[in-house]
Structure 1
């Protein structure tokens, strides 16, 4: 019996100043065989580098590749725009990122997994890869349990139904029915969507055989910004849906509070107040040393400060969003009390 044809696929790639990575990302994600009918939509958020020029050059040799403008700039908006602007034949959306290299026939295999498992969404594992010492150290930290907390989609080869993972493929009809990504949440839009998907009765399948290579940030400053946004976004999703944080999400917050508390109490209670900070830093250094020995690369020792930056930035972002939420609730409560007592004190009109 002949194999039924695969459905038409729209591969969506949000981009903003990605001249270093976008050519390789496109090359690796574009289907190499003729067994998949597709288009690739690059949604550019207003790049100021050569990103658009590179995409136009590639598109001149492949008419299936199209460059679109994402006036709202953020990734969630890019995917939402593509979900409406895609070809009328599209049945499945494939989300692809510029900071990644994809395994052979990635899109076709995502389609097959979606069909085989009967799931609403397919997510994949990711392995961080660095090109120079600092990026290699950041990648090592992100690949280790110290940096990822044991997140399922950070473990290559593990497959099964999950509640979240690195987004790869969606049933377009379901994506639209759920309203796509929440653009009011500029960060963590993937986990927020997964929460709504599961609440609606959908299923998410992690295909560990489709591990992508992810290129992390190349310096600590941009890493701090990225992880602050991750923490802010995770707190926003938790607050929006009334969820309880997982232990691995609470640990960075607890460590930050303990370390800052120790520094504050140090002048009052002495050196013992710094024990939590000392224990944390020694743990990070010991972990990085083990990674460096395993890799036989001294530069991996930089995984220690990388982990500290990741933890502290994530926790700070989480707390900033949490405090903003509590402040907003307090303001609303005070307004309600003012309105209530103001009405009570006004008395009857003579």
Structure 2
């Protein structure tokens, strides 16, 4: 029995694509239940899921009045009946073999968790959204995350997107940390690894994450990601809950700000800021020019997307530090 849990809130734009990819799975439906745990959506999401549940008895709608993802996951885990538990994201779609490949790999590898590469795409193809898709798939844009870059063989890793677990993993290592609005999957996976568990990424399938399509959407999402990197470390008291790559945008932002403050006392310190900014602009200019020529994308959009992505992420992390120091949360 496979229990699929998908936290949702106001996903009317994406939920139909997600459910259609679930219905096309080759996993036997008699051994499947899909639990959509909804944060009391107000945009019609509940009606869409409700209509599908009337047609397909393995689809269920559960309530999550607190609207927080880890709480949604814990509600789903508690309500689920499966021997295997899988998390999905409504902002994604899945090839027909996604469920069967991960469940098979979980058993054959005797793993605690398995996952696959997460490719980035956009729902609506426009010059701006195609650029955003490219930057969010680029090593300079998102770092060296294995699950974003993909693999050609089975690899043991420290985290995977979403996840497919043996049910007893949650008894052994605990459920989701309900304090974490972001990074809850990474924190759980790091906890499993620290406890001696094994997590693998497999090459035989993948999922497609549907990214935000505007600069505002990218900035808002990555500000939250950056802020919750700091809060995750604060709440868990574990630097190992995350990886070094999560803090690179913060270090870049500090390399600009700190020397500007220091120049009030020692003017030549401004050289550090100017050097850091110049090296960054040269780097994204070269990468953007290459992508523009190779994939026929707008150069100015590429430049702007890199800047928006990195600065919003770094500013989110700095805001997280200020929040901890000022409010203790």
Superposed pair shares fold, TM > 0.5: yes
Match of 1:253 in 2: 250
- Which of residues 203, 208, 225 is equivalent to 1:208? 203
From the superposition, tell whether residues 179 and 125 of structure 1 become closer, same or farther in structure 2 (CA, over 3 Å).
same
1:247: how far off?
A: 4.2
1:322-344 Cα shifts (integer Å, max 9, x gaps): 34445578xxxxxxxxxxxxxxx
Match of 2:281 in 1: 281
Q: Say if 2:22 is the partner of 1:25.
A: no
1:234: how far off?
A: 2.2
Match of 1:151 in 2: 145
From the superposition, tell whether residues 35 and 328 of structure 1 become closer, same or farther in structure 2 (CA, over 3 Å).
closer
Corresponding residue pairs, total: 320
Where 2:83 maps in the other structure, the secondary structure is strand
Between the aligned partners of 2:105 and 2:300, the Cα distance in structure 1 is 38
Q: Say if 2:111 is the partner of 1:119.
A: yes
Match of 1:51 in 2: 45
Between the aligned partners of 2:13 and 2:327, the Cα distance in structure 1 is 41
From the superposition, tell whether residues 246 and 121 of structure 1 become closer, same or farther in structure 2 (CA, over 3 Å).
closer
1:60: how far off?
A: 1.9
**Greater C-alpha radius of gyration:** 1
Q: Report if aligned partners of 2:260, 2:270 keep a CA contact under 8 Å in 1.
A: no
Q: Say if 2:11 is the partner of 1:15.
A: no
Match of 1:231 in 2: 226
**Which deviates further from its counterpart, 70-79 or 153-162?**
153-162
1:146-168 Cα shifts (integer Å, max 9, x gaps): 11211111122343111112122
Structure 1: give runs of 5+ residues left out of the alignment.
Answer: 1-7, 330-350
Where 1:143 maps in the other structure, the secondary structure is coil
- Which of residues 80, 88, 94 is equivalent to 1:102? 94
Between the aligned partners of 1:291 and 1:262, the Cα distance in structure 2 is 32
Between the aligned partners of 1:249 and 1:105, the Cα distance in structure 2 is 31
Match of 1:335 in 2: none
- Which of residues 191, 203, 209 is equivalent to 2:186? 191
Between the aligned partners of 1:24 and 1:54, the Cα distance in structure 2 is 11
Match of 2:75 in 1: 81
From the superposition, tell whether residues 242 and 275 of structure 1 become closer, same or farther in structure 2 (CA, over 3 Å).
same
Q: Report if aligned partners of 1:36, 1:108 keep a CA contact under 8 Å in 2.
A: no
From the superposition, tell whether residues 155 and 117 of structure 1 become closer, same or farther in structure 2 (CA, over 3 Å).
same
Structure 2: give runs of 5+ residues left out of the alignment.
Answer: none
Q: Report if aligned partners of 2:29, 2:58 keep a CA contact under 8 Å in 1.
A: no
Match of 1:345 in 2: none
Match of 1:337 in 2: none
- Which of residues 169, 174, 183 is equivalent to 2:169? 174
**Which deviates further from its counterpart, 220-229 or 13-22?**
220-229
Q: Report if aligned partners of 1:124, 1:167 keep a CA contact under 8 Å in 2.
A: no
1:266: how far off?
A: 7.5
Q: Report if aligned partners of 2:116, 2:205 keep a CA contact under 8 Å in 1.
A: yes
- Which of residues 136, 142, 151 is equivalent to 1:142? 136
1:70-102 Cα shifts (integer Å, max 9, x gaps): 112111111110001113xx1111111111110
Between the aligned partners of 1:155 and 1:97, the Cα distance in structure 2 is 19
From the superposition, tell whether residues 60 and 305 of structure 1 become closer, same or farther in structure 2 (CA, over 3 Å).
same
1:201: how far off?
A: 1.4
1:209-243 Cα shifts (integer Å, max 9, x gaps): 32211111111222122112212222233342432
Match of 2:307 in 1: 308
Query: What's the C-alpha RMSD, in Å, of the aligned pairs?
Result: 2.4
- Which of residues 38, 56, 62 is equivalent to 2:56? 62
Q: Report if aligned partners of 1:228, 1:314 keep a CA contact under 8 Å in 2.
A: yes
